[in-house]
Amino acid sequence: MNKPYSNRAWLGLLPVVLIVGFSAVVPLMTVVNYSVQDILDMQTRSFVGFDWYRSILRDPELHGALWRQLQFSATVLAIELPLGILIAKGLTPANRATPALLILLATPLLVPWNVVGTVWQVYARPDIGLLGYAVNQLGITYNYTASGTAAWITLILMDVWHWTSLVALLAFAGLTAIPRPAYQAAALDGLGAWQTFRFVELPRLRGVLIIAVLLRLMDSLMIYTEPFVLTGGGPGNSTTLLSQYLATLAVGQFDLGPAAAFSVIYFLFILLLSWLFYSAVVSRDE
Amino acid sequence: MAAITIEALTFSYPGAAEPTLDALSLEIAAGEAHALLGGSGAGKTTLLNLLSGLLQPTGGTLRLGGRSLAGVAPGARRTAQVFQFPVLYDRLSLLDNLTMPLRARGVRRRPRNERGRAIATQLEFEALGMADLERMRPGVLSLYQKQLLAIGRALATPRLELLLLDEPLTAVQPSAKWRLRQTLKAVQAELGMTMVYVTHDQTEALTFADRVSVMRDGVILQSAPPRDLYERPAHTYVGHFIGSPGLNLIDAELVGETLVREDWRCPLPAALAQRCTPGPVQLGFRPEWAQVITGAAAERAADAALLPAAVAGATVQGRDASGDYGLLALSVPEPVRVQTALSRPLPQRALLHLTQLVLFQDDIQVGLFSGGES
């Protein structure tokens, strides 16, 4: 069969090129543009090459934020993934309460992010917050506005509350898709509960867990609204994560050059981590 | 080597009005290959799952080699089961798949891998392109190879006494079925374990099993060697289910010691007649138990012992040493099918000389007799 060739067909791509151009390429290039120049106003500008990159990469504040960011992402993943699977294992599809539980589980996912921050801001307050007050009544000094550790724990708790459901729902969907004979064969092979999980369930949950890890990894690296509302990055810098620091640079101090350079690095960093994880997982399949 | 004793076994699924198995009793000898044959919904798989412990009986007892199986976990029954569609550990190697029953029971790597390799040799994995046991994963295997792997894993069960197979060949293409059946038989001859094989395919059951149980609606209608099922069916359903085509059934009335139809009568042996109650009976005969008499012979032999029949058609059925043989579709007026040589031209009317008959009353067999000399 001869395919008809016509270069006018390229015109058909025009809408897509325009939309992608305005929505993605132009904003991104603006950032790149700012990151290599020192712009004071529309007339006054100078090309500075990689100066902003150099200075931002040497910024100890950024190093601190990056380190906290990695700890934060690793911690929430390490908690949310097993906890989510555990919750999913506890749900039995045949139970009549399960649909109600699923709706309950999905609720945190529907709450707007700044509302999540506000909820925890109030909930964890030592004077009027239910959680904060109760913990202090137990004799444990807990004040997330004064103690960096307390703020860090509150931040982790908030993220776990907000996002474990996502892992649980994904894992539940994965578990319900496992055919009964797989469990029956395991029972006949004499597999115990842990071995059944390891050899029957975990391999079949692989697909959904990869998605869960990717979503949580990318999302936790980008987290901004909730900690901003909860602690504003404090006390001190104890809960300042990458996006929080970026906002301080760009909006607070109006250092557009370094902020732009940081944005580019930040973007590439998330891309790199996600790619590393994904290719590590996929390469094991070959 | 372990015999199975099933006594008054009853099972109902929760919420079901009728029991799936109803007071079922069966003895299976040690080392026997036993087939459970029946249509869907007969309770074959349920019985198998009760034997393996995947289901718990609602009543009755199960014993394997004299031990009661009540409350014994599936993994502790010295029983293995192969499912209709192969169930494997997809992310483990072939060897790890084979040795899973050993691994689950804490056998160390070296002895369990030795056993795995021995099974692979026994099932001739190498000849089937499954040589690389340590690196190959089940994903690359054909359905037949997968089922063979599942069987291999079942055989790895320590101290295996009973192998249960739930329609293991359904998913396998016909050419491979024969091969797998041969392998199973060879393995059984070697290991001597008891085998219970569920199928709805009579050829599979009859070629595989020492004895076959025909099931319907949760009840075993007959347990017998294949030949007996064919020649002396205990129930009209067995006669109908076994054989292709099944047993021909015609109605008659027992008056005194004589079978009576509108245009036919046949004296019964006295001993047999005493076992029946006068009234409606059913007569069964296999397609090859009737001789077709046509033409001049039929005119001459307007004898009461011969069953008059109208010819409705004929189909080529196969070819044997004497040439093509066909099945003559006749109307007596019940439709019956009779084996005949195809070389003869088709007459309009014929007489059937029945050489052998099975007598049923209320679907239960009451006796066999030959329909007289021709």
- Best of B55, B91, B166 to disrupt the A interface (most A CBs within 10 Å) is B91
CB contact under 8 A, B87 and A184: yes
In tens digits, chain A (286 residues) has pLDDT values of: 577 788 888 888 999 999 988 888 888 888 888 888 887 777 777 788 788 888 888 888 888 888 999 999 999 999 999 999 999 998 887 888 888 999 999 999 998 888 888 888 888 888 888 888 888 888 888 888 888 888 888 899 999 999 999 999 999 999 999 998 899 999 999 898 999 999 999 999 988 998 899 899 888 988 888 888 888 777 878 888 888 888 887 777 777 888 888 888 888 888 898 888 888 887 666 5
pLDDT in tens, A116-136: 888 888 888 888 888 888 888
Closest of A172, A187, A180, A212 to residue A89, by C-alpha: A172
**pTM listed for this prediction:** 0.78
d(CA A96, CA A93): 8
Burial annotation A27-53 (CB, 10 A radius, 16+ → b, else e) = eeeebeebbbbeeeeeeeeeebeebbb
- ipTM for the assembly: 0.78
Contact between A166 and A216 under an 8 Å Cβ cutoff? The reply is yes
Q: What is the pLDDT of residue A83?
A: 96
B37: its two tokens:
């044959």
Amino acid at A221: L
Asked if the C-beta of A207 comes within 8 angstroms of chain B's C-beta atoms, the answer is no
Q: What is the pLDDT of residue A285?
A: 63
Q: Is B79 helix (H, G, I), strand (E, B) or coil?
A: strand
Distance from CA of B89 to the nearest CA of A (A): 7
Contact between B261 and B222 under an 8 Å Cβ cutoff? The reply is no
Asked if the C-beta of A83 comes within 8 angstroms of chain B's C-beta atoms, the answer is no
d(CA B76, CA B68): 12
Asked if the C-beta of B157 comes within 8 angstroms of chain A's C-beta atoms, the answer is yes
Asked if the C-beta of B233 comes within 8 angstroms of chain A's C-beta atoms, the answer is no
Distance from CA of B139 to the nearest CA of A (A): 11
What is chain B's alpha carbon radius of gyration, rounded to the nearest angstrom?
25
d(CA B119, CA B152): 6
Non-local CB neighbours of A114 within 8 Å, separated by 6+ positions: A225, A226, A229
CB contact under 8 A, A189 and B101: yes
d(CA B181, CA B29): 20
Mean pLDDT of chain B: 83
Asked if the C-beta of A182 comes within 8 angstroms of chain B's C-beta atoms, the answer is yes
CB contact under 8 A, B92 and A199: yes
pLDDT in tens, B300-336: 555 545 666 666 555 555 555 555 667 777 777 788 8
Asked if the C-beta of B74 comes within 8 angstroms of chain A's C-beta atoms, the answer is yes
CB contact under 8 A, A188 and B81: yes
CB contact under 8 A, A191 and B89: no
pLDDT in tens, B163-184: 999 888 776 777 777 777 788 8
Q: What is the pLDDT of residue B373?
A: 45
